[in-house]
Amino acid sequence: MIYKVIGMMSGSSLDGLDIVYVHLHEAAGKWNYEIFASGCYDYTHDLKAKLSGAINLSALDYQQLHVNFGHYLGERVNEFIEKNALQHKVDLIVSHGHTTFHFPAKKLTAQLGDGAAIAAETKLPVVNELRAMDIAFGGQGAPIVPAGEKLLFADHDCFLNIGGIANITFNNGQKIIAFDICPANRILNMLAEKKGLPFDDDGKIARAGTVDDALLQKLNALEYYKLPNPKSLSNQFGTNTIIPILENSKVDIHIAMRTYVEHIVVQIKNAFKLQKVEALSFADSATPIFQLFATGGGALNSFLMERLKLVLDEINVTVIIPDTNVVLYKEALIMALLGTLRWREEYNIMNSVTGATRNSIGGALWLGTEA
C-alpha cells in the first residue's frame, strides 16, 4: 500500500515551516519512504514574534492566533502543491503545529495551527494534535518521533535530532528509550539575533569565542539534567531559564555562543553516559562503537559537529550525518508517517518512550474533502 502524504513541522527554533511530500510504502509491516518534494517557508518577523509571544496572549487572542496560523499553514500547503504540481496527488496532510504550552505534569500540551482551518483551506484530510492522546494517558507527549524512526530507519540504533530542542533515541531492538536532552538551536538562534543574524552560520560566532568555565558549570548544574527519563522540555525552559543565565553572565556574545555549544555537546555526551547499561546491549564487543544518526538544523552547524564528533569519539560513538534532505526534513517526514498510522488507526505513540499508561493512537482527523 502506498500513501501519498504531506508532512509539516514547525520547530521550536522558529526558523520556519518545513514541508515534505512523500510516498510511504507499507508491505508486510515494513515501511519505506521516498521524498519527492520538500521546502522550508521562512516566517516573517511579525509571525515569528506572534508565535514566540503566544503564551503571553489573552485566551481570545491565543485562540485567534491558533485559527489564523491554521489558515496560514493551509495556504502554505496550497502554495507547495501548486509549486510542485501535486494537484490530485495528495491523500493526507499531517501537521505537527507549533508548540506553545507543554506541561505534561498537568496533562497539558498545546500546538498552534487549527486542523479545521488547514482542512478548509486545502480541501483535503488533515491530521494534527499528535501529542494530545499520550498526554491524556499521563505521558510526556514527547519525544514522538521514535515510532517513526523505528519504522523508517530500522538499520540504525541511536538517533539525535538537534532542532530547537535536542532529543535522543536509543533502540536496542527490544526497548526504546528517548528523551529531550537540552535546548539547542532555539538558544543559538536567539544569541545570533543579538548580532542581527537569524542563526550562527556554520558556527562562525561560536568558533571565534572561548568557553567560560563558570558559565558552563552553571548551565550543566541545572536540575533538569539530573532527572531520569522519561522527560521532556518546554520552550519556556530555554527562554525563561537558559537565556537569563546567559544574559546575567554579562559575557561577550562570542563567549556565550561558544559556551552554549559546549553545553549542548556535554549534555549529549552525558545522555550516552546515563544510558550506558542500555547502550551496551547494542553491540557484542567489549568496547562497542555506536553509530549516532544525527539530523536537524544543528547537524549542518560545522563547528557544533566538529566539537560533538571529537567529544563523542572519547566514548566510542561515531556521528553519521545523512543526506541533507533527511537532515532537514526528517521530522516532517516522520510526522507524515505518524499521521498515516493515525489514518490506519494504528498505534503511533510509544508509552515506553513517553511514560504513558499505554501506547496510543494520537491525532485528530479533519475531513476537508467533500462527501
Residue 277 has what pLDDT? 40
Q: In this structure, what are the phi and psi dihedrals at residue 368, rounded to the nearest 5 degrees?
A: -85, -10
Predicted local confidence at residue 276, as pLDDT: 55
| Close Cβ partners of 68 (under 8 Å, ≥ 6 residues apart) | none
The helix (H) or strand (E) run that includes residue 244 is helix 243-248
Closest CA to 149 of 135, 161, 141, 137: 161
Q: What is the pLDDT of residue 63?
A: 98
Gap between the Cα atoms of 55 and 109, Å rounded = 12
What per-residue confidence (pLDDT) applies to 281? 46
**pLDDT tens digits for 51-105?**
999 999 999 999 999 999 999 999 999 999 999 999 999 999 999 999 999 999 9
Query: What is the rounded CA–CA span in Å between residue 232 and residue 252?
Result: 30
Please write the tens of the pLDDT for every residue from 301-344: 999 999 999 999 999 899 999 999 999 999 999 999 999 999 99
* Residues with pLDDT less than 70, the chain: 173, 275-289
pLDDT the model gives residue 278: 45
3-state secondary structure of 161: strand
The total of other beta-carbon atoms located within 10 Å of residue 68's CB is 16
Domains of the chain: 2-142+330-367 (3.30.420.40), 155-325 (3.30.420.40)
